[in-house]
Structure 1
Amino acid sequence: MSSAVFTYESLVHAVSGAMGSVTAMTVFFPLDTARLRLQVDEHRKAKSTPAILAEIVKEEGLQALYRGWFPVICSLCCSNFVYFYCFHSLKANWLKGKQSTTSSDLIIGIAAGVVNVLVTTPLWVVNTRLKLQGSNFRNEDIRPTNYSGILDAFMQIIRGEGVGALWNGTFPSLLLVLNPAIQFMIYEGLKRQLRRGVPRELSSVEAFMIGAVAKMVATVVTYPLQTIQSILRFGQFNESMDKSRLLSSLRTIKCLLVNRVRKYGILGLFKGLEAKLLQTVLTAALMFLLYEKIASCTFRIMGLNKIHYKKR
């Protein structure tokens, strides 16, 4: 077990995935800013993504598009390192050199996602707060916050809301492990189809396109829960007071979903989807392209390229 989990191959996948995701997110970060504003600020009208970006720049300056970049990049780097490492180490341990299947990719992806959520949720709670701090909200009920940085945000949240607040949105996040699981299932499946049993490196266009398709499907399927996740991480909502933590989480999610549908209709659950699709699809496509190239280059240097492709 330990020899399959702790390997250089899993480490290479983890580092390649983390580097690819950080680079891709930096390039498309303003699109994520637009998406988050639309999800959290209920009174902001869902205009086109360029219009939202122009509005933010006009009201808050160009730097507002990259507000919270550092904590997001830190969280993303840690999150993708954990996910890629868990996914490939679990895959190596489960398959033991055999060809993977669609069902095995989905199950392994869900398991890796659960580990990732439990480990990195506090980082995502903090970066959501920092990214929205100082924003001009249309909703006057939103309370302003004053965090000086990542550590200060951690301390203020713990002092003011308790340690449990760092795991706000954990339940919908656990449900959302389906997002990367579906993404990796589709990505790995399309990759197998393109190779058709021949161990070879994907071209840049192939990696970009199947990464985009995989993320687009996963995002559309899980977007309503992503919206609820953002609201819960922001922390400004009336939480259910049930004694059961699980029951409380379920009722809070149901309440937020129902209220949003009542106010804005079914389409309200998909508010900000255009910005999210632009950001997440382009980011994922570029991430997978960079991930494949970095991993391939590293394995080639290590002399493990042929063995690596045969395993996949």
Structure 2
Amino acid sequence: MGYSALANVFSYTNLVHAVAGAVGSVVSMIVFYPLDTARTRLQVDDKRKANHTPTVIADIISQEGFTALYRGLVPVLTTISCSYFVYFYTYNCLKTAFIGKEKPSSIKDLSFAFIAGVVNVLVTTPLWVVNTRLKLQGAIMETEDLHDNQHAKYRGILDCLVKVARQEGVWSLWNGTKPSIVLASNPAIHFMVYEAVKRYFQHAFNQTELSGLVYFVIGAIAKTVATVLTYPLQVIQSRMRVRYRQSNNSSSTWDALMDIARTHGMSGLYKGMEAKLLQTVFTAALMFMVYEKLTAATFRMMGLAYVKPGQTLT
């Protein structure tokens, strides 16, 4: 790769896409955070009797107060902004380096999105482990081995990182990495479907920039497909992040899946999916709408036409 190609990869264009993706993720998470709180509780609390999102939210409010719905918001926003920045930047750099002016395809979108997902997992998993611990800290849990969560252990992201590394070993910060790497297929499928449907609408409407509503709908469709296909792995991921050393009881992701299926039936693999669909579909839809509009607005402010990954500024 020559200097010119390298300059295109580490370009202002890719930086704009990465920052816009990070901002979009923060905006959407703030709006739909209570749904994420409900989803996490359903995934990790085996004994919780409520199975529907509104009921779980009502229980949390009655038992812990309204502010409990936003417990751990700051760590989540820190983590998700870093995660989406890494993801969008890596994804767009790959498209710039390997597609350029070539015709895009769903297979290329899937491949680049998966690689970006793996890079993102390896870089940001410690932040997600900490985020899950902080989000459940102080929560009233019905599962016996999670009762200790009611007592505060961590003062913030840095304190949690240090204590987990010191008390449980550095590699505990990468708990859930295996299912997370497999789950890189989720954003890969998401991006593949999103890009394919977006290209369809761009061709149908004969325009590069679509309306905010269309971007919202495309994001929702893409995330629904990705979530339904990969949800059982997300349940395993959440449990491995929160259960400390117990996460090592299962020798593999497959063993963990089978253990849940034996103990709670196949429905246990999809526990909390209603909350996950509500949270992730609306969050992804709003995130992509903000991302697309913010990217286009930034380029307009610079007096430039909308620049896709793989194009250079002129």
Fold similarity call, TM over 0.5: yes
Match of residue 184 from structure 2: 177
Q: Partner residue of 1:71?
A: 75
Query: Which residue is equivalent to 1:245?
Result: none
Contact kept, 8 Å, 2:100 with 2:310, in 1: the verdict is no
1:227 to 235, 248, 254: 235
SS of residue in 1 equivalent to 2:47: coil
SS at match of 2:139: coil
**Structure 2 gaps, min length 5:** none
Whole-angstrom distance in 1 between the partners of 2:31 and 2:179: 27
1:55 aligns to what? 59
> 1:301 Cα shift?
1.4
Q: Contact (CA 8 Å) 1:201, 1:309: kept in 2 or not?
A: no
User: Any conservation in 2 of the 1:40–1:230 contact (CA below 8 Å)?
Assistant: yes
- The residue type paired with residue 296 of structure 1 is A
Q: 1:157 aligns with which of 161, 164, 185?
A: 164
Partners of 2:309 and 2:108 in 1: CA distance: 18
Structure 1: stretches of 5+ with no match in the other structure: 242-248
1:94 matches 2:98: yes
- Does the alignment pair 1:192 with 2:199? yes
Range 218-227 or range 38-47, more displaced: 38-47
CA deviation map 1:114-149 (0-9, x unaligned): 111111000000000000001111111223351111
Q: 1:46 to 1:221 in 2, by over 3 A?
A: farther
Aligned Cα RMSD in Å? 1.8
Question: What is the distance in 2 between the residues matched to 1:274 and 1:287?
Answer: 19
Please say if 1:114 is aligned against 2:122: no
Q: Distance in 1 between matches of 2:76 and 2:156?
A: 12
Query: Is the contact made by 2:217 and 2:285 (CA closer than 8 Å) also made in structure 1?
Result: yes
- Aligned residue for 1:113, secondary structure, equals helix
- Tell me which residue corresponds to 2:273: 273
Percent sequence identity is 53
- Measured in 2, the distance between the counterparts of 1:9 and 1:76 equals 21
CA distance in 1, matches of 2:253, 2:34: 27
Q: Deviations over 1:197-230 (max 9, x none)?
A: 8442111111000000000110111100000000
User: SS of 1:28's equivalent?
Assistant: helix
Q: Residue 213 in 1 paired to residue 217 in 2?
A: no
2:14 and 2:309 in contact (8 A); partners too? no
SS of residue matched to 1:196: helix
Whole-angstrom CA distance in 2 between matches of 1:239 and 1:134: 20
Structure 1 CA distance for aligned equivalents of residues 232 and 8 of structure 2: 37
- Once the two structures are superposed, residues 161-189 of structure 1 have per-residue CA deviations (whole angstroms, 9 ceiling, x without a partner) of 01101111111110000000100000000
Following superposition, the deviation at residue 89 of structure 1 comes to 1.1
1:252 CA drift (Å): 3.4
Question: Which deviates more, 69-78 or 95-104?
Answer: 95-104
Q: 1:240 to 1:61 in 2, by over 3 A?
A: closer
User: Contact 2:165–2:173 (CA<8 Å) still a contact in 1?
Assistant: yes
Residue pair 2:299, 2:307 contacting (<8 A) in 1 also: no
Deviates more, 1:194-203 or 1:217-226: 194-203
Q: Is the 8 A contact 1:168 1:235 kept in 2?
A: no
Alignment length (residue pairs): 304
Contact 1:71 1:150 in 2 (8 A): yes
1:131 maps to what in 2?
A: 135
1:239–1:252 CA contact under 8 A, matched in 2: no
Matched residue, 2:253: 253
CA distance in 1, matches of 2:135, 2:158: 14
Aligned partners of 2:51 and 2:271 also within 8 Å: no
- Give the counterpart letter for 2:26 in structure 1: V
Whether the aligned pair in 1 keeps the contact of 2:96 and 2:310 (CA below 8 Å) is no
Structure 1 residues 22 and 203: CA distance shift in structure 2, 3 A: same
How much does 1:307 deviate? 4.8
Aligned mates of 1:302, 1:98 — CA distance in 2: 26
Determine the C-alpha separation between the residues in 2 that align with 1:306 and 1:221: 32
Calculate the TM-score normalised by the size of structure 2: 0.93
Q: How far 1:236 moved relative to its partner?
A: 3.7
Contact (CA 8 Å) 1:46, 1:272: kept in 2 or not? no
Secondary structure of the corresponding residue to residue 22 of structure 2: helix
Q: 1:148 aligns with which of 133, 147, 155?
A: 155
Residue 7 of structure 1: how far off its partner (Å): 0.5
Question: Is the counterpart of residue 83 in structure 1 residue 87 in structure 2?
Answer: yes
Amino acid at match of 1:32: D
CA spacing shift, 1:63–1:240, aligned 2, 3 Å: closer
Give the Cα separation in 2 of the matches to 1:307 and 1:130. 39
1:33 lines up with 2:37 in the alignment? yes
Moved more, 158-167 or 298-307: 298-307
* Contact 1:75 1:123 (8 Å CA) reproduced: yes
Deviation at 1:48, TM superposition (A): 1.6
